[in-house]
């Protein structure tokens, strides 16, 4: 893994409803870019780490593998999150996405209630995923970038609920931030992700 990752500046949202530009600036420039810097550092060190000293209690190799997972998922989840709130004004879920949400959750509102609860109950993320093993849509809650995420799944909608995502605007109040998030979702992006997930499911 020698090629360095660069930040995707084109994903930075601006002018959202209920989430200030200052809040987004801190989040994008400090937190997201911090993960980009650190995954490059981890990959650099993995090139030369002493694999003969690998140990499950403590070893440099173990520490690097744990932080590889934390930092790469930090990059990936933030990119998906920023992309799915950028330029979403007046967008609506596609008919196909609505059908899948209704089939899996009963109705759009029931899906939304569950996603909101997921965002309140978990410490890091709420992620609507398409599970390639079952073909189900599931709201996957994560306590950290690399804690409790389902494998063999494709993320469709990503919500960051870390304090750093809303404290500048809301202080400790997470719920108004989650409601603002719903107002800004770019459903065109989410609907396209479902299309891609369905194609992958068909192909495997």
List residues binding Fe ion (CB under 5 A): 31, 160, 162, 165
Strand ranges in 38-124 using DSSP code E only, listed in sequence order: none
For Fe ion, the closer of residues 20 and 94 by Cβ is: 20
Least distance from C-beta 31 to Fe ion, angstroms?
A: 5
How many Cα atoms are found within 13 Å in the side-chain-facing hemisphere of 125?
23
For Fe ion, the closer of residues 153 and 159 by Cβ is: 159
Least distance from C-beta 40 to Fe ion, angstroms?
A: 18
Least distance from C-beta 124 to Fe ion, angstroms?
A: 8
Tokens of 143: 């306590």
End-to-end CA distance of the chain: 26
CA-based nearest residue to 128, from 147, 111, 152? 111
Q: Cα(19)–Cα(26) distance, rounded to whole angstroms?
A: 12
The residue nearest Fe ion at its CB is 160
Least distance from C-beta 75 to Fe ion, angstroms?
A: 11
For Fe ion, the closer of residues 97 and 118 by Cβ is: 118
For Fe ion, the closer of residues 150 and 162 by Cβ is: 162
In which residue are the tokens 């990959």 written?
A: 43
């Amino acid at each position: 893994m020698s090629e360095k990752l660069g930040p995707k500046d084109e994903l930075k949202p601006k002018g959202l409803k209920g989430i200030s530009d200052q809040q987004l600036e801190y989040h994008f420039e400090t937190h997201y870019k911090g993960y980009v810097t650190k995954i490059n550092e981890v990959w650099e060190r993995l090139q030369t780490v002493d694999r003969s000293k690998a140990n499950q209690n403590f070893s440099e190799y173990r520490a690097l593998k744990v932080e590889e997972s934390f930092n790469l998922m930090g990059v990936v989840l933030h990119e998906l999150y920023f992309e799915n709130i950028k330029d979403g004004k007046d967008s609506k879920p596609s008919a196909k996405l609505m059908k899948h949400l209704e089939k899996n959750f009963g109705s759009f509102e029931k899906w939304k209630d569950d996603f909101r609860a997921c965002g309140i109950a978990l410490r890091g993320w709420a992620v609507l995923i398409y599970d390639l093993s079952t073909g189900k849509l599931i709201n996957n809650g994560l306590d950290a970038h690399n804690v409790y995420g389902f494998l063999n799944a494709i993320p469709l909608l990503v919500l960051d609920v870390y304090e750093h995502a809303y404290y500048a605007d809301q202080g400790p109040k997470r719920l108004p931030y989650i409601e603002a998030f719903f107002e800004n979702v770019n459903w065109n992006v989410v609907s396209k992700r479902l299309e891609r997930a369905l194609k992958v499911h068909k192909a495997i």
